[in-house]
A and B are shown apart, each in its own frame.
Chain A
Amino acid sequence: MKAVICGAGRYTRNLLGRLGDRWRITLIDASEKALKELMDTHATVAKVLAGDAASPVLLDKAGLGETDYFLALTDNDKVNLAAVRFARKAGVPHILSVLYDLSLEAKFQKLDVHLLLPGNMVGNTLYHYLQDPRIQVFSVARGTGEVVEIEVTRDNWIAGMSVTVLEDPEWRLAGLYRAGEWMPLTGELMLAEGDRLILLGKRNFFRSVCSVLACGHMPFPAPWGRGLMIVLNGDEGAETLEEGMYLLRNTRVGHVSILYDAVDMPDPTAHIDRKNVRHDIRLHPMDGRLTDTVKTLCRKDQIGLVVMRPLGRSFLKSISRPETIALAHELACPLLIARNSNPYDRILVPFNGTAMAALALETAVGLAEQIGALVDAAVVQEPDFIHGESRESWSDKTFKKVREISHIHKVKIGEIECRGNPVKEITALAERYQLMVVGSTNPQKELLTPHVGELLVERTPCSVLILASGAP
């Protein structure tokens, strides 16, 4: 086989070391020294030409008419482009070039040249390594696609579930390798620890895979359950349904339970665009007290998120009990108080450094990854006379925790520092956001003492996601 190679650099040197005796190589490079060295050390090099690889005279001398392969491997994209153009005109059947500057990709593709993108390959490898070194990514289909190989670990949420959980519009499961064998991909096949999954998708689908399968984090709301419950408890049932459907489309929810008042709203599914919803929809007419029914259904339907309108306010009850927060604590999953502020482009998390606030921030980050939102953490410093001790370094310590979470999740989290009353400051900030995520630690309130969480839920103009418990 005959091949002409432009450039006598690292790639050429590496390649020559692998080629067998069947090959007859012609090398073109500006450096006579490099050419001589390769000629002396590799028997496959039959001819060398010193000069500019873009020169038609030199390329003509190389004998392109008789060559099977043409490889443009110089470190100059423009030289490579000129060389491959000449080779294409000369009718070389197989042409390959390296390309560093991706803006020239279209020009090379027009010539039907097989491309190697070293910058992209190295960048991808580095990126994948930083995201999760357990995942391997291979570029295929001339760089337009990727194959991702990923191992199912013990702490991965998909372990023990059917392969159908991997169905996704962005990729497909191409193979499952278990204990030295390739498994048939049937719906009954259950995923197990140690399985190696081969996923095929478009270029850069790795990030989406990472958010759903790997990196040790389960996608929201999966840690609590695969189901979404939409409670049509107010006058604006259609809006609540719409916000619920928005979450359905943008999160990894398995099924939907709709709790509705059969008298006021006979058929809520009439409001659902069936074409866009492929999930299992379960209808539950309201039976008995709203909160009791919600609690019962949550357990029964493995609900991971409850969406409902704000509860009706009662002055007497509000004195003694933070109603919404108390309900959130009674549920085994997060509660979203819907105010129809979707789509969620910006998410605000009031952060005070507690474990629940950290969970709220991590959940917000997980949700933001799925819906493509930005997350900001707001720290409100109260004056010293409220707590009786100096809190000078408190906000620094609290922001340090925010940065830790940012580092763990590799996501930029905006930092906002305020001073004053936490409810006033946060509700004023929330006007610029579409969703607020609140972590709550206390379902009780003392007499004549404000409950910060409840006040935030009541006064915030946007939707509020309340986390009162970790995943079961």
Chain B
Amino acid sequence: MITSQQTALLLVVLAILIVPGISRILRVPSMVVEIIFGVILGKSVLKLEFTGEWLPFLAHLGFLLLMFRAGMEIDFTMLKRQSRGQLMFQVLFFMVTLGLATLAATLLSRGFFVALMLSTTSLGLVMPTLRETGMSRTPMGQDILIAATLADFMTLFGITFYVLYIRQGIDWRFFLPIPLFLGFGILLRIGRVWVWWHPAGAERILGIQEDAQEIGVRLSMALLFLFVALSELAHLEPVLGAFLGGSLLAYIFREKPLLETKLSAMGFGFLIPVFFIHVGMQFDLTHIMKPEMILFSLKLLGAAVTVKMAPAALLLFRGRKPREVFQAGVLLSSRLSLIIAAAAIGVENNLIKPEIKDAVVFMALVTCFLGPTLFKLITPTVGSGGPNDVVK
């Protein structure tokens, strides 16, 4: 049924308004409710079709902002504190995950792209869950955070270059992103040095000093679109640009709670929910309701959990207890934004079929709900005893 823009706008705004209340009552993440709301509106249930380009545009903008915020979540101070041995361990952790994901993709008769998708995790879910349980600064929490950061970073790069390779093979255009990365590296340094020399100016950007012009928000938006534009020029995925823009901000400003609050208000308050509703609307339940697709979805879910749970066993070599290994595996199994983005990219480049994308969205919905919930159930909060030896 074709619906007018006005009705669609009313429905989406209403959803954005009531979803936080519903998610609180149901005790599930609000993004899950938003996707389900989109599923009800879209192809699967009410089959509403909205006219105009505004919803896809806002959803895309929300998605870019989500990736920008994911980049901002990277804790470079924590990464710098890690010894070479610890970082090597984390690289090994990711390589084992990718190896197992490749094996799983082969067993599912899928290509390397599915392996890359399975290797993702959701830093956006891992970080708040660890903070909520008071574990973000414990050695265990740090191990999980670094694993999630590396998984997000490496898979994003992997997906970008894999798509580039599929599109044009290995020729001079494959190396076009190199100047972008070099420029990114130089910008990192220059930005950090500028902040070091001009702390008062930096405080204005971060909102620590009163600034009615909101220079920090303007700078963040400029960075987001600059990197998106640059990645388009280098034939890279815009999500990578958005992620790099966010990580640039995270590298330059190591503590930025006020700016994060402002960007979150703009992103999580409106644009990002629109993205999740749009994802839900694109989801076609009939795709995964076929017996063979139900089986495939279950296998995909099993693979998604296994490729994270099995490498987590490596933590035993770092002196972690079996229960902690289970905790890490459960939380790292959570997927959401990046895997959905990867699925969209896969469909766009004919690397996966639309029904596989829907199976991936289904898997993301299940893991993003179960991962953090199970983790919280088996994790004692700080102060009640347990493994939360705070990092000094």
Q: A residues bordering B, Cβ < 8 Å?
A: 382-390, 419-421, 423-424, 447-450
Chain B min CB distance to A189 (Å): 54
| Chain A CB within 10 Å, residue with most, of B76, B200, B208, B254 | B254
Inter-subunit contact B190/A385 (CB<8 Å): no
Complex contacts, A383 vs chain B, CB 8 Å? 199, 202-203, 208
Complex contacts, A449 vs chain B, CB 8 Å? 189, 192-193
Inter-subunit contact B254/A385 (CB<8 Å): yes
Complex contacts, A424 vs chain B, CB 8 Å? 197
A321 to B193, CA, bound (A): 17
Inter-subunit contact A388/B189 (CB<8 Å): no
Inter-subunit contact B77/A387 (CB<8 Å): yes
Complex contacts, A388 vs chain B, CB 8 Å? 75-78, 254-255
Complex contacts, A423 vs chain B, CB 8 Å? 197
Top 5 nearest A-B pairs (CB, nearest first) are A388-B254, A388-B77, A448-B189, A384-B255, A385-B255
Inter-subunit contact A385/B189 (CB<8 Å): no
- Kindly list 16 other residue pairs between chains A and B, CB separation below 8 angstroms, not including A389-B254, A448-B193: A384-B255, A385-B253, A385-B254, A385-B255, A386-B195, A386-B199, A390-B255, A420-B199, A420-B200, A421-B198, A423-B197, A424-B197, A447-B189, A448-B186, A449-B189, A449-B192
Residue A389 contacts which of B186, B202, B255 (CB distance < 8 angstroms)? Answer: B255
- Is B116 interfacial (CB-CB < 8 Å)? no
A6 to B266, CA, bound (A): 93
Complex contacts, B206 vs chain A, CB 8 Å? 385
A424 to B203, CA, bound (A): 16
Inter-subunit contact A421/B254 (CB<8 Å): no
Chain B min CB distance to A214 (Å): 39
Q: Write out, one digit per residue, whether chain B residues 266-295 have a CB within 8 A of any chain A CB (1) or not (0).
A: 000000000000000000000000000000
A390 to B257, CA, bound (A): 12
List 12 interface pairs A-B (beta carbons < 8 Å), by A numbering. A385-B195, A385-B202, A386-B196, A386-B199, A386-B254, A388-B75, A388-B255, A420-B200, A421-B197, A447-B189, A448-B186, A449-B189
Residue A450 contacts which of B186, B193, B256 (CB distance < 8 angstroms)? Answer: B193
Inter-subunit contact B255/A421 (CB<8 Å): no
Chain B min CB distance to A71 (Å): 67
A448 to B197, CA, bound (A): 13
A366 to B253, CA, bound (A): 40
A192 to B142, CA, bound (A): 57
Q: Does more than half of chain B's interface fall in helix, strand or loop, or is it mixed?
A: helix
Q: Closest residue of chain B to A452, judged by CB?
A: B196
Complex contacts, A382 vs chain B, CB 8 Å? 199
Residue B256 contacts which of A385, A390, A420 (CB distance < 8 angstroms)? Answer: A385
A431 to B227, CA, bound (A): 44
| Chain A CB within 10 Å, residue with most, of B78, B199, B200, B206 | B199
Residue B199 contacts which of A390, A421, A447 (CB distance < 8 angstroms)? Answer: A421
Chain B min CB distance to A153 (Å): 38
A132 to B190, CA, bound (A): 53
Interface residues of B in 169-206 (CB under 8 A from A): 186, 189-190, 192-193, 195-200, 202-203, 206
Complex contacts, B192 vs chain A, CB 8 Å? 449
Q: Closest residue of chain B to A420, judged by CB?
A: B199
A424 to B78, CA, bound (A): 28
Inter-subunit contact B196/A421 (CB<8 Å): yes
Complex contacts, B253 vs chain A, CB 8 Å? 385
Chain B min CB distance to A180 (Å): 55
Q: Closest residue of chain B to A447, judged by CB?
A: B189
A389 to B77, CA, bound (A): 8
A448 to B254, CA, bound (A): 18
Q: Closest residue of chain A to B197, judged by CB?
A: A421
Chain A min CB distance to B200 (Å): 7
Chain A min CB distance to B246 (Å): 15
A424 to B75, CA, bound (A): 28
A448 to B190, CA, bound (A): 7
Complex contacts, B75 vs chain A, CB 8 Å? 388
Q: Closest residue of chain A to B200, judged by CB?
A: A420
Chain B min CB distance to A279 (Å): 44
Residue A387 contacts which of B186, B254, B256 (CB distance < 8 angstroms)? Answer: B254
Q: Closest residue of chain A to B137, judged by CB?
A: A389
Complex contacts, B202 vs chain A, CB 8 Å? 383, 385
Chain B min CB distance to A386 (Å): 6
A450 to B78, CA, bound (A): 21
A11 to B256, CA, bound (A): 73
A279 to B199, CA, bound (A): 50
| Chain A CB within 10 Å, residue with most, of B75, B197, B202, B203 | B197
Q: Closest residue of chain A to B203, judged by CB?
A: A383
Chain A min CB distance to B76 (Å): 7
Chain A min CB distance to B362 (Å): 38
Q: Closest residue of chain A to B202, judged by CB?
A: A385
A108 to B284, CA, bound (A): 112
Interface residues of B in 34-67 (CB under 8 A from A): none
Residue B196 contacts which of A419, A447, A450 (CB distance < 8 angstroms)? Answer: A450
A434 to B350, CA, bound (A): 72
Complex contacts, A385 vs chain B, CB 8 Å? 195, 202, 206, 253-256
Complex contacts, A390 vs chain B, CB 8 Å? 255
A173 to B202, CA, bound (A): 63
Q: Write out, one digit per residue, whether chain B residues 146-157 have a CB within 8 A of any chain A CB (1) or not (0).
A: 000000000000
Complex contacts, A387 vs chain B, CB 8 Å? 77, 254-255
A231 to B192, CA, bound (A): 38
A423 to B199, CA, bound (A): 12
Q: Closest residue of chain B to A455, judged by CB?
A: B197
A450 to B186, CA, bound (A): 14
A50 to B78, CA, bound (A): 85
Complex contacts, B193 vs chain A, CB 8 Å? 448-450
A423 to B198, CA, bound (A): 11
Complex contacts, A421 vs chain B, CB 8 Å? 196-199
Q: Closest residue of chain A to B190, judged by CB?
A: A448
Q: Closest residue of chain A to B251, judged by CB?
A: A388
Chain B min CB distance to A427 (Å): 12
Q: Closest residue of chain A to B252, judged by CB?
A: A385
A450 to B193, CA, bound (A): 7
A30 to B200, CA, bound (A): 75
A447 to B192, CA, bound (A): 12
A421 to B254, CA, bound (A): 16
Complex contacts, B186 vs chain A, CB 8 Å? 448
Complex contacts, A389 vs chain B, CB 8 Å? 77, 254-255
Chain B min CB distance to A392 (Å): 12
Q: Closest residue of chain A to B186, judged by CB?
A: A448
A382 to B193, CA, bound (A): 13
A449 to B185, CA, bound (A): 13
Complex contacts, B255 vs chain A, CB 8 Å? 384-385, 387-390
Complex contacts, A384 vs chain B, CB 8 Å? 254-255
A390 to B137, CA, bound (A): 13
Interface residues of B in 70-86 (CB under 8 A from A): 75-78
A285 to B202, CA, bound (A): 51
A383 to B203, CA, bound (A): 9
A449 to B76, CA, bound (A): 16
A450 to B194, CA, bound (A): 10
Chain A min CB distance to B74 (Å): 11
Chain A min CB distance to B188 (Å): 9
Q: Closest residue of chain A to B75, judged by CB?
A: A388
Complex contacts, B76 vs chain A, CB 8 Å? 388
